[in-house]
Each structure stands twice: as structure tokens, then as C-alpha cells.
Structure 1
Amino acid sequence: MGAIFSGNTPLLQVAEPKLIQQILVKDFHVFVDRNSISLSSKHPIVGKILPELQGEDWKRVRSITTPVFTSGKMRRMYPLVRQSVEEFMNALSEYLKDKHEINVKDMYGCLTMDVIANCAFADAFKVPNNAFVVNGRNVFKIPSRKEL
């Protein structure tokens, strides 16, 4: 564990796997209210994802999503994640070979969408103008804060 700060506010960072499991699995009901550092909570879609929710809304969504991430289901997802990462690495290699400039944010955005939707209905690296990919990008176009 180590102390980190968000401005003048101390935050606790946990890195011990057993303690993380205790917090995120067994005692998650205790941690329903967290400070939100995101500016996206007003976005009609992004504001409804788990990291943006607070209180009872967070607890309800967490209870719904938890069964999706059992160890058995995660093991079955591994080959799909690995395939997406391999395609991501191949795409990066092509950009580097051709010495093209790359937008890292867009590349990682494609990787994220590809992992999420690999087995359902999108292949973000091969069809970048796929409706799922385009709409996914639009959802995550959130104005960033100005850094001082």
C-alpha cells in the first residue's frame, strides 16, 4: 500500500492481491461511494458505466455485472483477448514498417472495442468504419480537462 494524492486529497493505493480481492470481491458493498475524478458523468451513456456511478446505482450495476467476470468465464475469454492483442501488435508493426504517424489513443481505443466485441459483431482493426466502431468512438469523445 502507498499513499498518493489527487491535489491535496490523500488516496490509498492498494497493490496486495489478497487485499484487492478482499476489497473488490468480498467487501465491495462497503465501497459503493467513491470520489469521481471524471468529467464524463454528465454524458448520457458514459455517465452510466460502473466507474462513473455512485451509491445505489453503482451497487445495482455491480451486482448485475459481477457474474460475467467469474474465473471460468475469464479463462474462456482469454483466447479472444489474445487474438485482439496479436492483431493490435500486427497493426502497430505495419504502421512502424511504413513509418506512419499513429494516434495511440485511437489505436488503444480500437483494441478496447475489439476485445469487448471480438466474438459478437466487430473487428475494429480490419473494419475501422464498422458502425459499432464509429459509434463507440463517438461515445468516448469526451472533452478533456485543461492541464495547468
Structure 2
Amino acid sequence: MTDVRECRRRPPNPRTPLLILSKGSRRLPVEPHSPLGMIAISNVECNLKAVALKASIWPICPVKRTHKGPLRDILAKNMRRLRAVRGLSQEALAHESGLNRTYLSGVERSERNVSIDNVARIANGLGVEPWKLLKDD
């Protein structure tokens, strides 16, 4: 059995400071962060009820994983080397490439499956031809 929240609206407390949390087209007023860092919905009353879920609904591995190939390591090694030669930080390279810093960090650790478009953006940020990032020296 899994707990599912059933929520009903209750009148807001006029003394409670409210923030607006938007999700899609729904706007929910929420209280500021609680001491544990969680956001509590201020004018929604929630009750828990148990429901049974089918095994096929609950995924075993919710994130799609791809197998790491040797080309990722080559790309990561060349990126790191060229970035160091040019004296760029990951943040500076991200700015030059137009990509997120954490994404570039994942590419340098061979954790991300990089698209050919992003290889071209990284090469542009490093000032080299894209094939140089993929060449094993």
C-alpha cells in the first residue's frame, strides 16, 4: 500500500504570509520555508489515504541510464586538457559555450551523454574544431 494525499482547500489565515507557487496553470499560495527546508501549503488541508498500486506503475529505475562508452572518456580528457591550456574555468567555458556549468562538469566527468550539437558548442567555446575533441591522442 502507498499513501496518497487527498487535498481540500480551507480558508487562508490572514496572518500567514503567503508566497505564490506556480506549477503549469495552477497557482498555489504557500507558506515561507519551514525549519526543515520544506514548503508547506497554507490553505490546503491534506488527508492521507491508502491505495494499492500495480507493480507496472511503480518503476524500478525511474531515470533512463545509458552505458558509458570510451568516446565519453576521450571527450572528457580533451575538454579538460584544452580548457587548462586556455586557462578557462568550467564556469567561463560554460559562459563561452552557452551551456550550464553543471552540465559541463558532468561532461568532464564522463557522466553525460553529449549530443553532437553540444559537442559543437563546447568546441566553439574552446576555439577548436569539434573533431579535435573526439580525437584520441
TM range (shorter): under 0.3
Between structures 1 and 2, the one with greater helix share:
1
Relative to the length of structure 2, the TM-score reads 0.27
Which has the bigger relative contact order, CA under 8 A and spacing at least 6?
A: 2
Larger Rg: 2
Between structures 1 and 2, the one with greater strand share:
2
